[in-house]
Homo-oligomer: A and B are copies of this chain.
Amino acid sequence: MKTYRQELWMHVPSRRGFVNITHQVEDAVRSSGVQDGLVLVNAMHITASVFINDDEPGLHQDYEQWLEQLAPHEPVSRYRHNRTGEDNGDAHLKRQIMGREVVVAITDGRLDLGPWEQIFYGEFDGRRRKRVLIKILGV
């Protein structure tokens, strides 16, 4: 059995944003030499997500607006978490909706995705460097 580990460094210059990381994950799968297995891709931070959906800018605006409705950033006093001096209480909630991680099958040395599936990093408290973990297990 083979295993492989890689970190991606993300830097979203605004508070929130979505970044397509499918190619980086595909590269990691190639580097691993795994033909058949599973790849875990997860945010290593608790105010960010990794999720799979469509690479369509209108949809990403829909997500932004919807998440802001479900867990508004302001007023920051709305969240007890922010009494610790943070202003990212909303980001911890938004990330639960979008999820921490995805697990994707590897078949014939490639990501086994449906036709429209793309892997995204979702940032909800950006303007600093954060990491994504890629861990691969297989043969």
Q: Please give the distance in Å from A90's CB to the nearest CB on chain B.
A: 9
**Interface size in chain A (residues, C-beta < 8 A):** 58
Contact B81 A112 (CB under 8 A): no
A117 part of interface (Cβ distance < 8 Å): yes
Chain B residue with Cβ nearest A3: B36
Which residues of A (89-139) have their CB < 8 Å from a CB of B? Answer: 89, 92-93, 95-105, 107, 112-117, 131, 133, 135, 137-139
A46 touches B38 (CB 8 A): no
Q: How far is the CA of A139 from the CA of B138 in the complex (A)?
A: 11
CB < 8 Å neighbour of A98 from B1, B96, B133: B96
List, in ascending order, chain B residues with CB within 8 A of A14's CB. none
Bound form: Cα–Cα A54–B83 in Å: 15
